[in-house]
């Protein structure tokens, strides 16, 4: 099955391809499918934003679509950065970088002892008939005191699972425990069962 990923985030698309290809899915980006419009994320939750992105992409490409909205929730920050994870450090609506987001997060947690956090991934799948379902998975961990490792993307250098940052894990190790890895495996199984 060819499925369009409603994203242009290269790190995410690489993860989707790596996890879904062995399960029988050919993954293409939304621009490869002919959609170049930006989609406004106006939802109040990861799940709502994933559904918005999936349905808006489906309207243009008229093919099966998977949309992801994911991010980091830090307990001591009342769940921030949450749905604003990608633009956490943005000023005046300008795009933030992973480096600036990570610096802001470390500054916000300066002197904070409770560093519990979780990654959240909401996926929405739309089939060729326009019917959809959603899945939400999480990965519990903690925020490191400084970046660790050179792999991954986003907050991976700061997010530690059982003492190891995602940026220090191999792709296979990360996929086995990450929020997105778990969500994609659950999604692939559900697609196989879903009519």
Per-residue pLDDT of the chain (195 residues; tens, 9 = 90+): 899 999 888 888 888 898 889 888 899 999 999 898 888 889 999 999 999 999 999 999 999 999 999 999 999 999 999 999 989 998 765 668 999 999 999 999 999 999 999 999 999 999 999 999 999 999 999 999 999 999 989 999 999 999 999 999 999 999 999 999 999 989 988 887 764
What pTM did the predictor assign?
Answer: 0.90
Report the candidate in 12, 54, 64, 61 with the shortest Cα–Cα distance to residue 36: 61
Q: Which domains, from first to last, does the chain contain?
A: 2-193 (3.90.950.10)
Report, as residue numbers or ranges, the catalytic residues: 69
* Contact residues for 56 (Cβ-Cβ < 8 A; gap 6+): 6, 37, 39
* Contact residues for 10 (Cβ-Cβ < 8 A; gap 6+): none
Can you give the C-alpha Rg of the chain in angstroms? 16
**C-beta of residue 29 within 8 angstroms of C-beta of residue 14:** no
């Amino acid at each position: 099955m060819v499925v369009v990923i409603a994203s242009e985030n290269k790190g995410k698309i690489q993860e989707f391809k790596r996890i879904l290809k062995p399960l029988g899915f050919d993954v293409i980006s939304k621009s490869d499918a002919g959609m170049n419009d930006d989609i406004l994320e106006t939802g109040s939750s990861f799940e709502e934003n994933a559904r918005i992105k999936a349905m808006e992409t489906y309207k243009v490409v008229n093919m099966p679509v998977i949309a992801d909205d994911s991010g980091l929730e830090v307990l001591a920050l009342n769940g921030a950065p949450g749905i604003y994870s990608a633009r956490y450090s943005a000023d005046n609506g300008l795009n933030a970088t992973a480096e600036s987001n990570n610096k802001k997060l470390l500054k916000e947690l300066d002197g904070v002892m409770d560093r519990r956090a979780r990654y959240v991934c909401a996926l929405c799948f739309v089939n060729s008939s326009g019917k959809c379902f959603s899945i939400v998975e999480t990965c519990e961990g903690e925020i490191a005191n400084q970046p660790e490792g050179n792999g991954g993307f986003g907050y991976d250098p700061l997010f530690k699972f059982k003492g190891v940052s995602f940026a220090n894990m191999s792709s296979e190790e990360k996929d086995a425990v990450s929020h997105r890895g778990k969500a994609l495996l659950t999604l692939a199984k559900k697609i196989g069962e879903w009519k």
